[in-house]
Amino acid sequence: MAENKKYKSGFVSMIGRPNVGKSTLINRIMGEKLVITSDKPQTTRNAIRCIHTDDEAQMIFIDTPGITRAKNKLGDYMVKAAENTFSDVDVVVYLIEPDQKPGPGDKHILELVKKTKRPVILVINKIDLIPKEEILGVIGSWKDLADWTAIIPLSASKGDGTDELLTVVRQHLPEGPKYFPEDMLMDQPERFIVSELIREKILRLLKDEVPHGIAVEIDSMKERPGKDLIDIEATIYCERKTHKGILIGKGGSMLKRIGSQARRDIEFFLKQPVNLQLFVKIRENWRDRPFDLGELGYKEQK
């Protein structure tokens, strides 16, 4: 990078209703899997920062929980985590799906969009799922609902349109320094990422209400002396005795599947062999208990 070229940096919030592909888009931008994904709404629970650095700019993308009506204190935490990013970022990216008509679920988000003084980019994700001739109609349904900085159709799963999004985001970032080292990709500790990779496997392997009532806590994570091996012990908390039985499975079969699939991803992330031990405990109604939420890493949002 030339010395006289103005470097840009800033924070970019990814917002939208649940399951619109925010995490998939961030992983695509980053070029590797940093945040967990599943086909279940509310997969993301925390505002997670992923750092994209190039010769012209450092863009810190914030993956936020989907904004929806909260059903418990964990839901309150997640909604506030998403909404709070509006006041702390330089650019907002609002994701929708092509078959998503503007409705009551979007009203609250659009009100937040109209109040913010930040540039807001509307991204129509998953355009690979509809005929190309329908895209203009989708744009027409949304273009007058807010003062959009840009409207960009793209496919996070295919990668189509992501370069255009990066170009527009870069244009609207302020001049500034690199906030993070060039080789840093995420602002979360390894323990958090490991716990999320375990939780992702539970989301993918189990159905219905069980995954939403679980939390994962890393009890210990230590390198075994003299060996290229990391010993990890983690506890999966669930709210009911029946859920514990489902998580463990007959003869421990489900817990073994969760552990086996999680271990592969954890080893890929840590670039090191892993010995993963999982335990399951009941923590009744933890999603509605402020103390339990704090203990499990969901700090109260102001």
**Which CATH number covers residue 18?**
3.40.50.300
DSSP line for 60-110: EEEE-PPP----SHHHHHHHHHHHGGGGT-SEEEEEE-TT----HHHHHHH
Give me the pLDDT at residue 44, please. 46
Per-residue pLDDT for 90 more than 80? yes
Residue 136 CB burial class (10 angstroms; 0-12, 13-18, ≥19): exposed
- In contact, 20 and 97? CB cutoff 8 Å: yes
Residues 160 and 220 in one domain: no
How sure is the predictor about 298, in pLDDT bands with cuts at 50, 70 and 90?
Answer: low
- In contact, 78 and 70? CB cutoff 8 Å: yes
Residues 89 and 221 in one domain: no
Average pLDDT score over the chain: 82
Per-residue pLDDT for 260 more than 70? yes
| Domain boundary pick from 171, 199, 228 | 171
Give me the pLDDT at residue 76, please. 55
Output 47 or 197, whichever has higher pLDDT. 197
Give me the pLDDT at residue 63, please. 76
Q: Is residue 179 part of a domain?
A: no
Residue 205 CB burial class (10 angstroms; 0-12, 13-18, ≥19): middle
Taking residues 59-86, report their average pLDDT.
Answer: 60
Q: Is residue 302 part of a domain?
A: no
Give me the pLDDT at residue 2, please. 42
Q: What percent of the chain has pLDDT over 70?
A: 80
Residues 33 and 149 in one domain: yes
Dump pLDDT digits (tens) for 165-222.
999 999 999 999 999 888 888 877 788 888 888 988 888 888 765 667 788 899 999 9
Which of 239, 300, 247 lies closest to 278, judged by CA?
247
Q: How many other C-beta atoms are found inside a 10 Å radius of the C-beta of residue 54? A: 11
Q: Is residue 2 part of a domain?
A: no
Instruction: With H, G, I as helix, E, B as strand and everything else as coil, classify residue 135.
Output: helix
Give me the pLDDT at residue 70, please. 44
Q: Is residue 236 part of a domain?
A: yes
Taking residues 27-44, report their average pLDDT.
Answer: 64
Please report, for residues 180, 241, 262, 279, the alpha-carbon distance to residue 218 in angstroms, rounded to integers and kept in the order given: 26, 21, 13, 10
Strand order across the 274-282 sheet: 215-223, 230-238, 274-282
Q: Is residue 13 part of a domain?
A: yes
Taking residues 3-9, report their average pLDDT.
Answer: 77
Q: Is residue 183 part of a domain?
A: no
Per-residue pLDDT for 232 more than 90? yes
Dump pLDDT digits (tens) for 109-161.
788 778 888 899 999 999 998 998 899 999 998 999 989 999 999 999 898 99
Partners of residue 86 on adjacent β-strands: none
We report the CATH number of the domain holding residue 230 as 3.30.300.20
> Could you give the angle at which helices 22-30 and 162-171 cross, rounded to 10 degrees?
80
Output 294 or 8, whichever has higher pLDDT. 8
The total number of structural domains that make up the chain: 2
Which of 191, 199, 203, 189 lies closest to 232, judged by CA?
191
218 phi/psi in degrees, rounded to 5? -85, 115
Lowest mean pLDDT among 76-85, 164-173, 262-271: 76-85
Taking residues 41-58, report their average pLDDT.
Answer: 73
Residues 12 and 161 in one domain: yes
Per-residue pLDDT for 289 more than 50? yes
Give me the pLDDT at residue 47, please. 60
Give me the pLDDT at residue 59, please. 93
Residue with tokens 């890493």: 297
The whole-model pTM stands at 0.69
Residues 33 and 165 in one domain: yes
Per-residue pLDDT for 224 more than 60? yes
Q: How far apart are CA 80 and CA 67, in angstroms?
A: 9
Residues 21 and 145 in one domain: yes
Residues 18 and 103 in one domain: yes
Domain that holds residue 244: 190-295
Instruction: With H, G, I as helix, E, B as strand and everything else as coil, classify residue 121.
Output: strand
Which of 184, 15, 200 lies closest to 92, judged by CA?
15
Taking residues 232-245, report their average pLDDT.
Answer: 90
